Amino acid sequence: MTDILNLSRGKALGTTSRRDFLRATGLAAGGLTLGFALPAASRLALAAAPTDTTINAFLRIAADGTCTVVCGLSEMGQGVHTAIPMLIAEELDADWTRVKVEQAPVDKAYSNPIFGMQATGGSTSIRGHWEPMRKVGAAARAMLVSAAAETWKVPASECRTERGQVIHSSGKRLAYGKLAASAAKQPVPETVTLKDASKFTILGRNLRRLDTPPKVNGSAKYGIDVRLPGMLTAVMARLPVPGAKVVSFDATKAKAVPGVRQVLQIPSGVAVLADGYWAAKKGRDALEIQWDAGISGNLSSASVSAMLADGAARAGAVAHTVGDVAAVKPARTLEASYEAPYLSHTCMEPLNCTAWVHDGEAEIWSGTQSQGPSQGIVSQIAGVAPGKVKINTLYLGGGFGRRFAPDFTIDAAMLSKAAGVPVKLVYTREDDTRAWFYRPAGVTRFTAGLDAAGVAQSFTATVASPSIMESSGFMKIPPNGVDHFAVEGTEDHPYDFPNQRIDYSRVEPGVRVWFWRSVGHSQNIFFTESFVDEMAGAAGKDPFEYRRGLLSRQPRYRAALELAAERAGWGKPLPAGVHRGIAVGQSFGSYVAEVAEVSVAADGSIKVHRVVCAVDCGQVVNPDIVKRQMESAIIYGMTAALYGRITLKDGRVEQGNFDTYPMVRINEVPPIEVHIVASTEKPGGVGEPGLPPFAPAVANAIFAATGKRLRELPFDTSQLKRA
Amino acid sequence: MATINVNGRSMQVDASPDTPVLWVLRDELGMTGTKFGCGMALCGACTVHLDGAPVRSCSLPLSAAVGHRITTIEAMSGTPVGKAVQASWVAQDVPQCGYCQSGQIMSASALLARNRKPTDADIDQAMSGNICRCGTYNQIRAAIKQAAASLTGRA
């Protein structure tokens, strides 16, 4: 799992698994080698209908021509259950109206090539599967052509394919459904030729999502919807403070609640198991527990802030240098510190997992982002071989990185093992908010050395924050001392400053941190793009022109910046009181620029009137899905910018439900325009990159409106009050 | 034992009178289209209709539902308004993760049942109790307007 180290960087990643998957992907003998095994049907025991023929692990074709794509990636709203089928269908020349999608079981065949394990996250799905899934389609197509050629006793070279049919030069046609059985017996081609983009008929089109129909009539099944015979529902009293311990508990009152069946203690707390959620929750609420808060019982947000500020004030491990900042003798210096809080992911579907550990095997039903790791974890808990652990992935009611974490899976498996029955563990909303998997809090201190004209001679940043790598349980900070998740978005900023130094100062207040939509970029691009705006002001330059002038060696950033500015009408008059801000950011291989139009009322409240976003995410599978993901990430970022804040008092989280951890609602959301930069580059991610530029674009607009620089998230609008 | 009317059918349920209708539907009746989001009537994921009006079923005790008509997402395709709303949701491809959408559709259907020409302010008023963490709000607004147009023959 070491490759997760680079998951947000859009780099070509060399792992054993990736090499296995994409062995020698270069051109060979006029085609691309397939480069990976296509496992046979029997090993995967796919739930195929009797009329279905399994072509390979990713594709079945029914007698009526229906093509079922088996997708190993989790659908959490990002559209992967449409995009992966589009990749296969394109090269297969499938009839899109007959393409269906089905969730895969856990199996090595479905390893994410970027992670080297079956998991969904880091905006990797299209980056990792753009070529492999097209090869799957191309290989299947070649096998269908071979089958038709064999049937007709003609050379395969005389056959072509179109919309689910093989067509011979004589005009004879055979539908894929009729050919599937014999196609499955054809040898898998060693090389395949992928289409030139100019020949695409499916990729690049705004095809409708395959998962929409069940999501409008209540039939879509999420993890929380699982029901098994004999199943009990568990609600837990979880550790209120990191590292806390149960000293003792009294379950008498809990057990008196009708429907409560068992009360069990596991390492993460005490669980009440009942016939349904309501009885389990009432039982949980009736537990009397003595906790020992341990050393974390003194933690407060003020102490965390102080630790972070202290960290940012001292030199850290060097993440990036250009030239020599110490040699610069600036005419004047610009300095500023920025801060962001811990954040909860807050998926709409509260975390949950159903487990059944029994008779030498284990089965999980869950909306998880990490099937591969979950299989290993559950095998250890259940004491069975990994192959004896089945993972059934349901729709995820939001993921955002949170459902990559193992806590709900571990606890459900432990409870089922102890209870001897299937257990559905459900977090209350408050449990979900207080589960200690947070976006890191952080403070970054910037210094810019300017010449007399305000031109930057040096740029330094010290990033103080906890380490996700060390918190994750499966990664370590490398010998250079830099957790790149902590500095991404700052260390790799695009600007052409002659002397630079970016440090990482690790600060560990004792709160576990985790991957949160766009990870380090979520706060670092806010910090950096706000400070660069301060530098533009110090140079007396327009914020757009200032950035543009420093991006001469960054054509993709610059194109996104220019497109956003042009579509937003940068420099053109706005209604009285409305002001613009601009920001850019690259994450997960995609380049995004956003312009926000903002007004500030006399009471300090902010209204965002419009957001214009430009994205270069390379070649595009489905433009509508790209646009919706940008919009989704912008609104997710808007909640973080306006409201998002997990605070601590006496070691406990002060937020619980949506009253104390509010979300942006429909009445607050501005019109959002997304424009895609035409690109022939390889695909970048789209689930996360829309988020980071939003907060700085708004902060920069607030500065334009008021002359006040907000350097903390969420925005403290009381500073903007005009008395 | 209590008897409640769900989607036009009388159902016998064995649950304590304080059990929220949400959990009666999900755990007793196996109707999982209505979703749990917060348990405090703050997010709207559990919205159902009680005698046609939108209510948050996570905070509606079983005892208060006896004698009233409960309508859930599972029955919406059987009503002209529900059918139009579901069709416009499909046409606009509104859902992302989809978890909140049952509740969104129940709130939108209740709005359109009483107001066939909702303004943006009407939509804000009716829909601001429903959180969507994926941020499909602009698509929800477009879908409500499309459903309104189809219901008034302006489509």
Q: Which of B32, B47, B96, B127 is the best mutation test for A, with the most CBs of A within 10 A?
A: B96
Residue A417 CA from chain centroid, whole number: 31
Exposure class string for B11-42: b at 16+ Cβ within 10 A, else e? bebebeeebbbbbbbbbbbebbbbbbbbbbbb
By Cβ distance, the residue of B27, B127, B135 closest to A277 is: B27
Q: Which residues pair with A597 in a beta bridge?
A: A580, A610
User: Which chain B residues are Cβ-neighbours of A75 within 8 angstroms?
Assistant: 97
The C-alpha angle A657, A659, A662, rounded to 5 degrees, equals: 90
As a whole number of angstroms, the distance between CA A673 and CA A563 comes to 12
A215 shares contact with chain B (CB less than 8 Å):
yes
Angle A125-152/A80-92 helices, nearest 10 degrees?
30
- Domain A2-216: give its CATH code: 3.30.365.10
- Which helix (H) or strand (E) segment holds residue B126: the answer is helix B120-127
Query: How is domain A223-294+351-426 classified at the CATH fold level?
Result: Aldehyde Oxidoreductase; domain 4 (3.30.365)
- Whether the predicted pLDDT of A43 surpasses 80: no
- In this structure, what token pair is assigned to residue A131? 């070529």
User: Which chain A residues are Cβ-neighbours of B83 within 8 angstroms?
Assistant: none
By Cβ distance, the residue of B38, B93, B127 closest to A658 is: B38
- In this structure, what token pair is assigned to residue B12? 């016998």
Phi, psi of B47 (to 5 degrees): -60, 130
Q: Could you tell me which residues come within 8 angstroms of residue A3 by beta carbon, excluding any fewer than 6 positions away?
A: A13, A15, A17, A18, A114, A115, A116
Q: What is the mean pLDDT of chain A?
A: 93
Domain with CATH 3.30.365.10 in chain A: 2-216, 223-294+351-426, 301-342+438-720
- Are A398 and B99 inside 8 Å of each other by CB? yes
SS3 B52: coil
- Are A209 and B140 inside 8 Å of each other by CB? no
Calculated CA dihedral for residues A562, A564, A567, A570, nearest 10 degrees:
-70
As a whole number of angstroms, the distance between CA B97 and CA A521 comes to 23
Exposure class string for A655-674: b at 16+ Cβ within 10 A, else e? bbbbebbbbbbbebbbebbb
Q: How far is the alpha carbon of B135 from chain A, nearest alpha carbon, in Å?
A: 5
Q: Which residues pair with A234 in a beta bridge?
A: A273, A425
A79 shares contact with chain B (CB less than 8 Å):
yes
> With bands split at pLDDT 50, 70 and 90, how would you rate the model's confidence at A294?
confident
- Are B77 and A217 inside 8 Å of each other by CB? yes
A residues 345..384 contacting B (CB < 8 A): 346-350
By Cβ distance, the residue of A348, A396, A426 closest to B131 is: A348
pLDDT in tens, chain B (155 residues): 899 999 999 999 999 999 999 999 999 999 999 999 999 999 999 999 999 999 999 999 999 999 999 999 999 999 999 999 999 999 999 999 999 999 999 999 999 999 999 999 999 999 999 999 999 999 999 999 999 999 998 65
- In this structure, what token pair is assigned to residue A15? 């792992």
By Cβ distance, the residue of A259, A350, A666 closest to B140 is: A666
The mean pLDDT value for A577-605 works out to 98
Q: In what order do the strands lie in the sheet with A191-192?
A: A27-28, A31-33, A191-192
- Are B37 and A349 inside 8 Å of each other by CB? yes
SS3 A701: helix
- Are B32 and A211 inside 8 Å of each other by CB? no
Q: Quote the pLDDT of residue A51.
A: 76
When the candidates are 3.90.1640.10, 3.40.50.10490, 3.40.50.720, 3.10.20.30, the CATH number that belongs to B2-74 is 3.10.20.30
- Whether the predicted pLDDT of A190 surpasses 80: yes
- Are A350 and B36 inside 8 Å of each other by CB? yes
Q: What percent of chain A is modeled with pLDDT above 90?
A: 91
As a whole number of angstroms, the distance between CA A195 and CA A135 comes to 10
List the single range of A6-10, A634-638, B64-68 with lowest mean pLDDT.
A6-10
Nearest in space to A679 (alpha carbons), one of A610, A600, A626 = A626
- Which helix (H) or strand (E) segment holds residue A506: the answer is strand A499-506
- Are A659 and B34 inside 8 Å of each other by CB? no
User: Do residues A277 and A426 make contact, with C-beta atoms less than 8 angstroms apart?
Assistant: yes
The residue behind tokens 């801000």 is A581
Q: What is the DSSP letter of A452?
A: T
**Does the structural domain A301-342+438-720 have CATH classification 3.30.450.60?**
no
Q: Which of B32, B73, B97, B104 is the best mutation test for A, with the most CBs of A within 10 A?
A: B97
- Are A657 and B42 inside 8 Å of each other by CB? yes
Q: Quote the pLDDT of residue A52.
A: 85
**Does the structural domain B77-151 have CATH classification 1.10.150.120?**
yes
Residues, chain B, total?
A: 155
User: Do residues A593 and A697 make contact, with C-beta atoms less than 8 angstroms apart?
Assistant: no
Q: Quote the pLDDT of residue A38.
A: 54
Q: Quote the pLDDT of residue A37.
A: 56
Phi, psi of A720 (to 5 degrees): -100, 0
The mean pLDDT value for A361-382 works out to 97
Q: Could you tell me which residues come within 8 angstroms of residue B62 by beta carbon, excluding any fewer than 6 positions away?
A: B2, B4, B13, B15, B16, B17, B18, B19, B20, B21, B24
- Are B32 and A275 inside 8 Å of each other by CB? no
- Are B43 and A399 inside 8 Å of each other by CB? no
Q: Quote the pLDDT of residue A22.
A: 28
Q: State the count of interchain CB pairs (< 8 A) between A and B.
A: 182
Nearest in space to A510 (alpha carbons), one of A291, A299, A246 = A299
List the single range of A179-188, A293-302, A671-680 with lowest mean pLDDT.
A293-302
As a whole number of angstroms, the distance between CA A383 and CA B84 comes to 52
List the single range of A15-19, A153-157, A706-710 with lowest mean pLDDT.
A15-19
Q: Which of A74, A80, A215 is the best mutation test for B, with the most CBs of B within 10 A?
A: A215
Q: Quote the pLDDT of residue A50.
A: 66
- Are A278 and B73 inside 8 Å of each other by CB? no
Q: How far is the alpha carbon of A90 from chain B, nearest alpha carbon, in Å?
A: 21
Exposure class string for A147-159: b at 16+ Cβ within 10 A, else e? bbbeebeeeeeeb
Give the start-to-end residue ranges of the domains of chain B.
2-74, 77-151
Q: Centre a 10 Å sphere on the Cβ of residue A426 and count the other Cβ atoms it contains.
A: 25
The residue behind tokens 């390379």 is A618
Alpha helices in A420-520 (DSSP H): 429-433, 468-472, 484-487
Q: Quote the pLDDT of residue A11.
A: 32
User: Do residues A138 and A95 make contact, with C-beta atoms less than 8 angstroms apart?
Assistant: no
- Are B37 and A666 inside 8 Å of each other by CB? no
A521 shares contact with chain B (CB less than 8 Å):
no
- Are A666 and B102 inside 8 Å of each other by CB? no
Q: Could you tell me which residues come within 8 angstroms of residue A678 by beta carbon, excluding any fewer than 6 positions away?
A: none
A673: left (phi over 0), alpha (psi -120 to 50) or beta: beta
As a whole number of angstroms, the distance between CA A617 and CA A83 comes to 14
Q: Quote the pLDDT of residue A30.
A: 38
A residues 641..660 contacting B (CB < 8 A): 657-659
Exposure class string for B120-155: b at 16+ Cβ within 10 A, else e? eebbbebbebbbbbbbbbbbbbebbbbbbebbeeee
As a whole number of angstroms, the distance between CA A254 and CA B85 comes to 43
The mean pLDDT value for A130-148 works out to 97
User: Do residues A357 and A383 make contact, with C-beta atoms less than 8 angstroms apart?
Assistant: no
Start-to-end Cα distance in chain B: 47
- Are B35 and A211 inside 8 Å of each other by CB? no
As a whole number of angstroms, the distance between CA B49 and CA B5 comes to 11
